Amino acid sequence: MLNLSRSYIISVRYLSLIEIDSVYFMPKKPKRHTMRLIICFLFLMPSLCFAQPGWMDGYIVTNQRDTIYGKIYYAPPAHRSAKIAFKAEGEKEKVKYRPFTIRGYFVNDQYFVSRIYDIDASLTYGLGVFMRWVNYDKKGHVRIYEYWNTDGDAGYNETLLVRSQGNSYSINPLKFKRDASYFFRDYKELRSDILKGVYKRRDLQKIVERYNAWRRFDKWNEKYKEEG
């Protein structure tokens, strides 16, 4: 489980006042084991190798939806999910932000948003993290989010698929065909291609783009029939 201090615990009532999207989700705790951690680490290695920590140009989006440009310290994945250090343009002072103290931030051509992690529906509080919105530049029914998770002393990149109405699903790299084919089961042709191995784990963005295009076309067809 993500190692967070008590200061990360946020009231759900408060979250509703600074909602990032139209709805939030409550992801189930994924099953974790050693092989999964290894696979996730291998997928993450390229970004770890080429994205070196340091100050980079970027901006933050406040809870009032204001955009403030400056420098953001691009830290390792574990820190990027928990907090950021920011210097506004023309300012020398460094300010640290945790999830939900701002709506999100943009750095190194990546957009991170404040979202809820691992809520227990029986409780009145949840845990906030900065999640990388992978396909932020492409509008559609399904969004891809990633965040750094931990299991004991090991860390790995957790991938979530989130529908526009808030339903979320965790993708296990070891059982990609099973998880992806289930999530996209309403698009039978795409589901069939996933099961046949046409798409691999690395093709997740292509899968989502195809699905979102299908959803837009299907929605347009329904509207056309109603108006016709």
Q: What is the end-to-end Cα distance of the chain in Å, rounded?
A: 52
Distance CA 57, CA 74 (A): 9
User: What is the per-residue pLDDT for 102?
Assistant: 96
Find the largest Cα–Cα distance for the chain. Answer: 62
What six digits make up the tokens of 81? Answer: 């999910």
Q: Where do the DSSP E strands lie in 48-140?
A: 54-61, 67-74, 84-88, 95-97, 104-107, 110-117, 125-133
User: What is the per-residue pLDDT for 145?
Assistant: 93
Distance CA 43, CA 156 (A): 9
User: What is the per-residue pLDDT for 150?
Assistant: 67
With b for 16 or more beta-carbon neighbours within 10 A and e for fewer, the 67-82 pattern comes to: ebebbbbbbebeebbb
Element (H, E) at 176: helix 176-183
User: What is the per-residue pLDDT for 24?
Assistant: 32
User: What is the per-residue pLDDT for 157?
Assistant: 80
Q: Which residues of the chain have pLDDT under 70?
A: 1-51, 118-126, 150-154, 218-228
DSSP-assigned letters across all residues of 203-225:
GHHHHHHHHHHHHHHHHHHHHHH
Distance CA 202, CA 47 (A): 13
User: What is the per-residue pLDDT for 55?
Assistant: 95
Query: What is the residue whose two structure tokens read 């020398």?
Result: 92
Predicted structure pTM score: 0.69
pLDDT tens profile 86-116 = 999 999 999 999 999 999 999 999 999 998 8
